[in-house]
A and B are shown apart, each in its own frame.
Chain A
Amino acid sequence: MTDHPNIDPAWLRGMTMRRMSRRDLFKAGGVGASALSLGAILAACSSSDSSSPAASGSSGGVDFTAEPAGTLDFANWPLYIDKEKVNGEVVRPSLLQFTDQTGIEVNYREVIQGNNTFFGKIQPQLAAGQSTGWDLIVITNGETLTRLMTLDYLVELPTDMRPNFDKYADVSVKDPAYDPGNKFTMAWQSGLTGIAWDPKQVAELRPDNPTITSMNDLFDPAFAGKVGMFGDNADMPNLTLLGMGIDPTTSTPEDWNAAAEKLIAQRDDGIVRQYYEQNYINAISNGDVAVTMGWSGDIFQTNLSGDSEGLQFAVPDEGAIIWTDNMMIPKGAAHPVDAMMYMDYVYDPDVAGQMAQWINYITPVPDSKAFVLGLFDDTGDEYYKNVAESPLVYPTPADTAKLSTYRVLTEDEQLEWNGIFQPIYQS
């Protein structure tokens, strides 16, 4: 029986997990912006070396034919793996099973609270060619991942050590645009950026059309002051572009400016209540906003946790953004073989099912659905049925057809892109 923690996972995840910036809540503790860690300064210090990485060979000199070391240091996000309480002790069944099968002890730590902040932490070691202390890290596709790849900080993965991945991975995570040929990464879980909405408030504010179906709803004056937008450089621009009928992945600077114009008008007309980071989930739960950009897993969990008043998540007609959190081996990892074995292990459908029923984001292994339905048959617990039937955990092909990914940007483009979009949410 799965034990859901007493804290509402969606809330905690909302507080801690998503991409841009746990920085505000966790780094903020009264530390001035000038009080950057010495590490970060030294990081920048040694940056000049990074263009000529010490590592030799395409996989950073890693010998994947070696025997596993019996240890795996795994850094992940909070609440991002299956958990159970056995005799009052929290265990992670899928990790226990891995240890049983391989003898590899997993040192699992929930230390990643933001792609950027985590990158900032490990960058000094990577730049110096030293071990980060981690064999496996999980990073979302986007700016940080691109940076890790272009700075040559990742170990190239062997293609002959991932039979499960080759067999069971969903097409959407095979050969993705952000990492052609899965040279450096394998997907952990994916999620959607779409629209979260509160049916009660929407019905009140717009009685003639009480459903949210389109990106245009985020720009509807009927919801003035009750709209939440993401305040970031990834979700807000990309989803807005998509809503304008532009494919973000091939968008041009003209498109970016057009999107910016639309967003500025939305802000200046008083439609936007606030630009949120991870805290949008509180805002919609508190009734501060009626419609907001949101992430699929959060809404699904809030509803399952029972304290929701039936929050909805909409994949807009124009499409939604799918992002993927990826496993990867940072250079200098002490136990790369163990990491590689684990990365393939999670693509076993039963393992993936065990994880999916707890994590509630989109699993990269569609075949794992059978395992989750099996849990329903065994226990009769409706929860498992809900998970297995949720399009937000197992999206249908019709759903996935409407999905797009983030624009992959070069460094110069990134500077231009940030310059266009950041002033909108930080005005």
Chain B
Amino acid sequence: MADQARPRLQDLMGSSAQAAEGGAPPARKANRRKRLVPYGLAAPSVLWLLVFFLIPTLYMAFISLGSGFLGNIKFGTNFSNYVEVLKTYDKQFIRSVIYALIVTFLALCIAYPLAYWIALYGGRRKNVFILLILLPFFVSFVIRTVQWQFILADTGIIFGPLKNLGLLSKNFHVLSTPVAVIAGITYNFLPFTVLPLYVALERLDPRLLEAGRDLYANKVTTFLKVVWPLSLPGVFAAFLLTFVPAVGDFVNSQILGGPKTTMIGQIIQTLFQTNFDYPHGAALSFILMAFLLIGASLYAKVLGTEAVTSAAAR
């Protein structure tokens, strides 16, 4: 779809440019209208982004250089805000990135076989299986996380009986540990991993697999030489779609975490909503945003933008 639209749009722009140079008046009029069409179509989303993204973002950029609390914020040029937050919260920052990397890796390990099986062996029920994967996610994010708190409770439905049987020590617990946080985030972001992988695998031409077999490749070789390379764009997209939100997650560590599992999203949230320290909160947000933007573009550069965006666009 996008591939077809693009040249047409270019033709349109090109011809209207020509027309503007020296076409006949009526044609020029029609062309001008034509030329405006793409802008008109883009206008709502541009306006939307302008009002709800660009202006607030610029405003936050100003605030990040200010001082004081909500209700009494003074504008300034306190670039030191950035240094301060980075110094104070470096641990949480690094931790968030490490957690997110582990989460993304785990999610890929879980999601790939899942997506593979549904795409290749799902048959007529493919959509049902995808729906089943998505079904739990119709429930609020927070509620699902709180349920994990219930399931993983020290004397809850899993660990209670095991402890009573003496299979686990009394002090064993999963809640309040990094394990719980990472497991929680992995669970919560799994659909973001499954869907792009599924899309990539689903488009796989089965004839290619047959061809592999015809050429005496065994199943492993077929997978490594045919399936895996063709699914790579999906893997790249899944990586980004999982990693980026996982770094900024602030729910799981709060609900499932313990004394030393705080993530950067939680800090930003506290700075804004509890401390009303908008300048420092904004500074930290921008650092996170910059990190993710630079990281994502480097990632895209190394792996090729085409691969990532084309998989994401499907």
Shortest distance between the CB of A146 and any CB in chain B (Å): 11
Range of interface residues on B (Cβ < 8 Å): 35 or more
Query: Is the beta-carbon distance between B70 and A286 smaller than 8 angstroms?
Result: no
**Bound Cα distance A235, B133 (Å):** 42
Query: Is the beta-carbon distance between B259 and A274 smaller than 8 angstroms?
Result: yes
Query: A397 contacts the other chain (Cβ, under 8 Å)?
Result: no
Pull 28 A–B residue pairs with CB atoms less than 8 Å apart, ordered by A. A21-B274, A25-B146, A28-B254, A30-B142, A33-B250, A33-B268, A34-B248, A36-B272, A38-B52, A44-B73, A44-B278, A45-B59, A48-B73, A119-B276, A120-B273, A120-B276, A123-B70, A123-B71, A151-B71, A151-B72, A273-B259, A274-B259, A282-B149, A288-B154, A411-B69, A422-B270, A426-B267, A427-B259
Shortest distance between the CB of B177 and any CB in chain A (Å): 10
Shortest distance between the CB of B75 and any CB in chain A (Å): 8
When A and B form their complex, which 3 residue pairs have the shortest distance between CB atoms, in order from nearest? Answer: A33-B268, A286-B153, A287-B155
Q: Which of B58-111 contact A (CB under 8 A)?
A: 59-60, 63, 68-75, 88, 91-92
Closest to B70 in A: A44
Interface 0/1 of B252-263, CB less than 8 Å to A: 001101111010
For the complex with contacts A233-B274, A273-B173, 20 further pairs of A-B residues with Cβ separation under 8 Å are A21-B273, A28-B254, A33-B281, A34-B60, A34-B248, A44-B63, A47-B71, A51-B72, A117-B273, A120-B70, A120-B273, A147-B69, A232-B274, A267-B260, A274-B257, A274-B259, A282-B149, A422-B275, A427-B91, A427-B259
In the complex, chain A residues whose CB is within 8 Å of the CB of B155: 286-288
Interface residues of A (CB under 8 A from B): 20-21, 23-30, 32-34, 36, 38, 40-41, 43-45, 47-48, 50-51, 116-117, 119-120, 123, 127, 147, 151, 225, 232-233, 267, 272-275, 279, 282, 286-288, 411, 414-415, 418-419, 422-423, 425-427
**Bound Cα distance A3, B69 (Å):** 43
Selected contact of A32 from candidates B257, B265, B266, B273, CB within 8 Å: B265
**Bound Cα distance A27, B250 (Å):** 11
Query: Is the beta-carbon distance between A24 and B254 smaller than 8 angstroms?
Result: yes
Shortest distance between the CB of B87 and any CB in chain A (Å): 11
Query: Is the beta-carbon distance between A33 and B272 smaller than 8 angstroms?
Result: yes
Interface 0/1 of B30-57, CB less than 8 Å to A: 0000000000000000000000100010
In the complex, chain A residues whose CB is within 8 Å of the CB of B4: none
**Bound Cα distance A27, B269 (Å):** 10
**Bound Cα distance A356, B73 (Å):** 40
